[in-house]
Amino acid sequence: MSGPAVLLLGFAVTGTSAAGSVLLACLTIAAATGGLLLGTLLDRSRHPERLLAATLAGYALGIAALAAAVGRLPLPAVVPIALVTGLFGPAVAGGWTSQLPRIVTGPELPRASALDALTYDGGALAGPALAAVIAASLGTRIAVCTAAALVGITVPVALTVFGTPGIATRPASAPLPAPAAPPATAASGVQAAAERDTPLRQLAAGLAAIVGRRALLRATATSAVSYVGIGMLLVCCPLLGKARLGGEAHGALLIAADAAAGLAANALLARRSWRRPADIRVFATTLFVGVGVAAIAVTPGWLTMIPAVLIGAGGGPQLTALFEVRHREAPAGMRGQIFTTAASLKIAGFAVGAALGGLLAGWSVTGCLLIAAGIEVAAAAVYLVHGRR
């Protein structure tokens, strides 16, 4: 909810997409930086739930500060608040997913990954819809405050997540299960590097693991480029809402329709086993998203909701496939670094897209979306390039 709410607030204050896209880009690019550090700290922590709870609290306070500052302070003064807030953003998503193997291991992990992705889709469905309803009825500032409150109330729950009665968990200090040995590559010293004490060396080891494992690098690079297009799409949603759905707040309904389709697709994935490996699903779903973005650029009126559903039907399974690849390829004791580093690179792509979308949407919403569709095709091409040794 926080991203769409901040985007709507910036649009409401200035009447253009520029302020909202700048703030969203600041939130996400800072999250990319914060994720690198969070992953290293998670793998070193004996109590990751405490670290994650603290970062959730920081994110909630930052979103509340943005609600108070936007429109009351000059934009250059609000940008640092957004940057600091974004540093805590990775705790909302990738930090938790990296801890999933503490509860579920072995052959059940792919299904658990699909169920985990359902929680992303559920949040992405309810959040934008709630942002739209509250922004239209009570105002965009109240919508941002509500997002901050929802994050804040999860803090005490986060502190108990690994101690829930009836759930068998691994000790925080126990190493997570290792995947199958990779082919001989530049990552051959990754696990040894991860066991060293300095956070800087652990961070370097996490980056080396992504670069050295071809499947992990391919999925990470493809998703990062794909999310440039997704960032452009999100910035265009308020403008699409105003032009085609009767109000800028209705643009959040496009995001909700996207998420609803992703939720349904991942629910199907969780109920059955797919013969195709996760790697090829990353490629296929990226192309599917590109088709949806191209369609949403030219579809009139409320029919715009149909391509939004197509985008979600590709984006939801893309996320599940990414989780499967990361769980499979992450070296022992480095899962937190792999998840948060890979997620940070994807978030960085989103931030670039949000900033680029803010510039291009003012020129032409249709043109911006067609360029975004082209970027999705480029992301699929990145997959093919990395598919060869």
Model confidence at 126: pLDDT above 70: yes
Distance CA 234, CA 179 (A): 35
pLDDT band at 243 (very low <50, low <70, confident <90, very high): confident
pLDDT of residue 294: 93
β-partners of residue 70 are 73
Is the predicted pLDDT of residue 24 greater than 50, yes or no? yes
Spell out the domains of the chain, with CATH numbers in brackets. 2-157+197-386 (1.20.1250.20)
The 10 Å CB-count burial string (b at 16+, else e) for 295-323 is: bbbebeeeebbebbbbbbbbbbbbbbbbb
Which of 198-202, 315-319, 371-375 comes out lowest in average pLDDT? 198-202
Give per-residue pLDDT as tens, 82-121. 999 988 887 777 677 777 777 777 777 777 877 887 787 7
Residue 146: its H or E element: helix 140-152
In terms of average pLDDT, the best of 273-282, 296-305, 368-377 is 368-377
Per the structure block, which two tokens stand in for 157? 């729950």
Given this model, what pLDDT does residue 188 score? 33
Opening angle at CA 351, ends 350 and 356, nearest 5: 95
Among 73-87, 200-214, 305-319, the minimum mean pLDDT is found in 200-214
37-46, 76-85, 296-305: least confident range: 37-46
Q: Which of 11, 126, 24, 22 is nearest to 71 (CA)?
A: 11
Task: Look at residue 80 and tell me whether its pLDDT is greater than 90.
Answer: yes
Q: State the Cα–Cα distance between residues 344 and 32, nearest whole angstrom.
A: 4
Nearest to 25 by CA among 232, 215, 170, 211: 232
Q: What pLDDT, on the 0 to 100 scale, is given for residue 180?
A: 37
Conformation bin of residue 188: beta by default, left when phi > 0, alpha when psi is -120 to 50 = alpha
| Contact by Cβ (8 Å): 193, 204 | yes
Q: How confident is the model at residue 368 (pLDDT cuts 50, 70, 90)?
A: very high
The 10s digit of each residue's pLDDT in 328-362 is 887 767 777 777 778 778 877 887 888 888 788 87
pLDDT tens, 179-223?
A: 333 333 333 333 333 344 455 666 677 778 788 888 888 998 999
Q: Which two tokens stand for residue 152?
A: 């804040």
Beta bridge partners of 32: none
Quote the mean pLDDT of the chain: 79
Q: What percent of the chain has pLDDT over 90?
A: 19
Q: Which of 102-106, 129-133, 231-235, 367-371 has the lowest mean pLDDT?
A: 102-106
User: At which residue do the structure tokens 């000059």 appear?
Assistant: 74
Who wins on pLDDT, 146 or 107? Answer: 146
